[in-house]
Amino acid sequence: RLLSPSHESGSNGDDLTDLTAGKSIYMVSDGTGWTAEHSVNAALGQFDYCLVDRACPVNTHLFSGIDDVERLMEIVKQAAKEGALLVYTLADHSMAETARQACELWGVTSTDILGPITEAIASHLGVSPSGLPRWAPGRKNSLNEEYFRRIEAIEFTIKQDDGALPENLLKADIVLTGVSRTGKTPLSIYLSQKGYKVANVPIVMNVGLPRSLFEVDPEKVFALTINPVVLQTIRRARAKSLGFDDEIRSNYSEMDYVKEELEFASKIFLRNPIWPVIEVTGKAIEETAAVVLRLYHDRKNRCSMPRISKRY
Amino acid sequence: RLLSPSHESGSNGDDLTDLTAGKSIYMVSDGTGWTAEHSVNAALGQFDYCLVDRACPVNTHLFSGIDDVERLMEIVKQAAKEGALLVYTLADHSMAETARQACELWGVTSTDILGPITEAIASHLGVSPSGLPRWAPGRKNSLNEEYFRRIEAIEFTIKQDDGALPENLLKADIVLTGVSRTGKTPLSIYLSQKGYKVANVPIVMNVGLPRSLFEVDPEKVFALTINPVVLQTIRRARAKSLGFDDEIRSNYSEMDYVKEELEFASKIFLRNPIWPVIEVTGKAIEETAAVVLRLYHDRKNRCSMPRISKRY
Ligand SMILES: Nc1ncnc2c1ncn2[C@@H]1O[C@H](COP(=O)(O)O)[C@@H](O)[C@H]1O
Ligand SMILES: Nc1ncnc2c1ncn2[C@@H]1O[C@H](COP(=O)(O)O)[C@@H](O)[C@H]1O
Ligand SMILES: [Mg+2]
Ligand SMILES: [Mg+2]
């Protein structure tokens, strides 16, 4: 097996010290590659148990913007050398077919991620796929209403962060509240990228909440809670990274204080029973986001099965 | 065909006025549903040409957290009634098999999004998938290093927004620069969610840039540029949504000013030839992000084929 001498790993670019230790997955797209990456990540979740302890380490390699046969062939050959699995999303039918055949020829196992779902949709709609990749000249411009709405939601949400402008809670689609380090900020940002204007209001022991929190439609408020032991762990990591001195740290991340503050928050939540209380312990940001959005849409859509619907 | 009386559309919850006009796609996941949604969105890109003019309108319906057979069966039956296509990601093998068989029984076309890629990875690694969905009790906790790094990147990036703390440019992984409305903020946020600390420095005609921009490693600076006509359109929409009065608007979005400001920026870029100049015209945020990250990783990784590598 041939490996190129130096790669980098992780999104922050650390060097891979021992690439030969892992099996490779090549992801090839004529577009951004994010679809292939997302699918591979979800599938890798099924192997968490052995990725974690390094019994089966995996290296993924993302090749984006691959829209000519020459580069495609180079990648397939390199995949063959490295003994990699190759997954691809190629809109142009002949490119996808070339990938499949080249992989067969070079003995590379391959999986088409876009093809099957595109074919299913094509026969469902009774029309043919365009075969045009993201960056093809004939493609539709992205400056539509949706684009502007998303940008506005992101900008609104950044400005609102940490209760900065409480009078604007009224303009938000979703209002998050909870004690420090329940993940309000990253959750807000995640939701804003899906087009929701989000405001968040921190709860601090013995500090009053902005009156506007009780003036907004309570159906758009979501309360976050977390296990105290986990919260302490997160706060300790936070205090360390911020370089808090010992005294502040003890107040912020000591168990008595953490528990008292969570109880303080619980009492507020009990007095506002319409706010759903969402447990964030052990959840990734996108998981909490899914829970929030399911509840949000259910409330607007009481008569049908819980779902999030969109029109295209 | 039976349709439930009222749904909502779009992430901001507008009502669908005429659902019968569209074909339905049901997306079912035992997790968040984001993987199914992402794949369906990519595939729908192949039908842009007919979605746009409403020749083949589509309604998607996302059902997340479906981990019991009863709810699964309800959804399949509803899909049959609506004549929907059903795509699913179900980690538990018997749930996936149930979905497949129930769809066959009820005459619903179905596509398994997770199965094929999971099987390919399983045989590549020589180990079996756990069959445990995201929220299964036995699952690995998400509080790992990666989690903390991402949160930190998001918080760093929000604080940095719009050149707020120029002395911190040194700490950023990536620095973006360009005139107003080239999409620096949403791009920064997108990249931060992938774990990169991003700072952005706005270019305003005849306003000096912070000295630190020229002190940071020029290899981490990315310049954004855009077609003046498109920029004017975006700025007009912006001025309207901010409620600028006519005088400010003319200065900000009039063609002479727009062109002059872009030329002012171009001159700065010419004096800093190491900065790649990225054309954002007609690109979605995630598309520009893909270009930035490809260049970013290529620079760190000169000797191998352009790729973004990660270790799991
Ligand atoms: N808006 C779109 N128009 C056309 N093709 C798209 C669109 N979005 C994604 N695709 C295709 O879907 C696949 C996955 O896209 P990506 O996530 O950018 O790698 C690629 O083959 C793209 O060319
Ligand atoms: N970290 C993970 N552990 C186990 N399964 C996962 C993980 N992430 C995603 N999945 C599975 O991958 C599919 C897609 O996930 P989602 O995008 O949350 O709908 C679902 O069947 C999930 O159960
Ligand atoms: Mg892709
Ligand atoms: Mg899914």
Q: What is the pLDDT of residue B303?
A: 67
Q: What is the pLDDT of residue B311?
A: 85
pLDDT of B54-92, one tens digit each? 789 999 999 999 999 999 999 999 999 999 999 999 999
**Averaged over B99-113, what is the pLDDT?**
98
* SS3 label, residue B166: helix
- As for the ipTM of the complex, it is 0.92
**Averaged over B287-299, what is the pLDDT?**
95
Q: What is the pLDDT of residue B137?
A: 79
* SS3 label, residue B73: helix
Q: What is the pLDDT of residue A281?
A: 93
Nearest Cα residue in chain A from B28: A307
Q: What is the pLDDT of residue B136?
A: 84
Q: Whose CA is nearest to atom 17 of ligand 2?
A: B35
* pLDDT reading at A214 higher than 60: yes
DSSP one-letter string for chain A: ----S--EETTTTEEPS-GGGSEEEEEEESS-SHHHHHHHHHHHGGGHHHHTTTSS-EEEEEE----SHHHHHHHHHHHHHHT-EEEEE-SSHHHHHHHHHHHHHHT--EEESSHHHHHHHHHHHTS------TT-TTPPPS-SHHHHHHHHHHHHHHHHGGGS-GGGGGG-SEEEEEETTSSHHHHHHHHHHTT--EEEEEE-TT-PPPTHHHHS-GGGEEEEE--HHHHHHHHHHHHHHHT--HHHHHHHH-HHHHHHHHHHHHHHHHH-TTSPEEE-TT--HHHHHHHHHHHHHHHH-TTS-S-EEEE-
Contact B312 A89 (CB under 8 A): no
* pLDDT reading at B14 higher than 60: no
Q: Whose CA is nearest to atom 23 of ligand 1?
A: A133
Q: What is the pLDDT of residue A6?
A: 33
Shortest alpha-carbon distance between residue B255 and chain A (Å): 19
Give residue A105's pLDDT band: very low, low, confident or very high (50, 70, 90): very high
| Pick from B135, B130, B136, B109: nearest CA to B118 | B130
**Averaged over A31-50, what is the pLDDT?**
96
DSSP one-letter string for A40-102: HHHHHGGGHHHHTTTSS-EEEEEE----SHHHHHHHHHHHHHHT-EEEEE-SSHHHHHHHHHH
Q: When comparing pLDDT for B303 and B16, which is higher?
A: B303
Option in A47, A122, A285 nearest B121 (CB): A47
Q: When comparing pLDDT for B53 and B290, which is higher?
A: B290
* pLDDT reading at B228 higher than 80: yes
Q: What is the pLDDT of residue A126?
A: 95
pLDDT of A189-198, one tens digit each? 999 999 999 9
Q: What percent of chain B has pLDDT over 70?
A: 88
Residues 6+ apart with CB under 8 A from B240: none
* pLDDT reading at A201 higher than 50: yes
Q: What percent of chain A has pLDDT over 90?
A: 68
Q: Whose CA is nearest to atom 17 of ligand 1?
A: A35
Q: Which residues of A touch B284 (CB under 8 A)?
A: 142, 147
Q: Residue B295 corresponds to which tokens in the numbers above?
A: 């260049």
Give Cα separations from A311 to A307, B16, B223, B228 (angstroms): 13, 8, 35, 31
Q: How far apart (Å, rounded) are the C-alpha atoms in residues B227 and B207?
A: 21
In our burial notation (b when 16+ CB lie closer than 10 A, e otherwise), range A35-54 reads bbbbbbebbbbbbebbbeee
Least confident segment among A47-56, A211-220, B21-30, B125-134: A47-56
- Is residue B115 in contact with ligand 2, taking CB distance under 6 Å? no
- Is residue A282 in contact with ligand 2, taking CB distance under 6 Å? no
Give residue A13's pLDDT band: very low, low, confident or very high (50, 70, 90): very low
**Averaged over B123-143, what is the pLDDT?**
85
Least confident segment among A31-40, A281-290, B162-171, B263-272: B162-171
Q: What is the pLDDT of residue A3?
A: 31
Rounded to the nearest angstrom, the distance between the alpha carbon of A71 and the centre of ligand 3 is 16
**Cα–chain center distance at A148:** 21
Q: What is the pLDDT of residue A1?
A: 25
Q: What is the pLDDT of residue A137?
A: 79
Q: What is the pLDDT of residue B141?
A: 65
Contact B186 A154 (CB under 8 A): yes
Least confident segment among B2-6, B37-41, B72-76: B2-6
Option in B35, B64, B134 nearest A38 (CB): B35
| Pick from A51, A78, A34: nearest CA to B122 | A51
Option in B283, B305, B312 nearest A60 (CB): B312
Q: What is the pLDDT of residue A14?
A: 40
> What is the rounded (10 degree) CA torsion for B248, B252, B255, B257?
100
Least confident segment among A49-58, A159-168, A217-226: A159-168
Rounded to the nearest angstrom, the distance between the alpha carbon of A63 and the centre of ligand 4 is 23
Q: How far apart (Å, rounded) are the C-alpha atoms in residues B251 and B249?
A: 5
* pLDDT reading at B214 higher than 80: yes
Give residue B175's pLDDT band: very low, low, confident or very high (50, 70, 90): very high
Q: What is the pLDDT of residue B11?
A: 37
End-to-end, the C-alpha distance of chain A in Å comes to 46
pTM of the entire predicted model: 0.91
* pLDDT reading at A147 higher than 90: no
Which residue of A2, A24, A29, A39 is the best one to mutate when testing the B interface, meaning the one whose CB has the most B CBs within 10 A?
A: A39
Give residue A144's pLDDT band: very low, low, confident or very high (50, 70, 90): confident
Rounded to the nearest angstrom, the distance between the alpha carbon of A159 and the centre of ligand 4 is 31
Which among A30, A87, A134, A140 is the best mutation to test ligand 1's pocket, defined by most ligand atoms within 8 Å of the CB?
A: A134
Q: How far apart (Å, rounded) are the C-alpha atoms in residues B295 and B273?
A: 14
Q: What is the pLDDT of residue A11?
A: 37
Q: What is the pLDDT of residue B5?
A: 31
Rounded to the nearest angstrom, the distance between the alpha carbon of B289 and the centre of ligand 1 is 14
Which atom of ligand 2 is nearest the CA belonging to B114?
13
Q: How far apart (Å, rounded) are the C-alpha atoms in residues B211 and A81?
A: 47
Which atom of ligand 2 is nearest the CA belonging to B32?
18
Least confident segment among A28-37, A183-192, B165-174: B165-174
pLDDT of B147-167, one tens digit each? 899 999 999 999 887 666 777
**Averaged over A230-242, what is the pLDDT?**
85
**Averaged over A246-275, what is the pLDDT?**
88
Residues 6+ apart with CB under 8 A from B89: A42, B28, B29, B30, B31, B33, B35, B36, B112, B113, B114
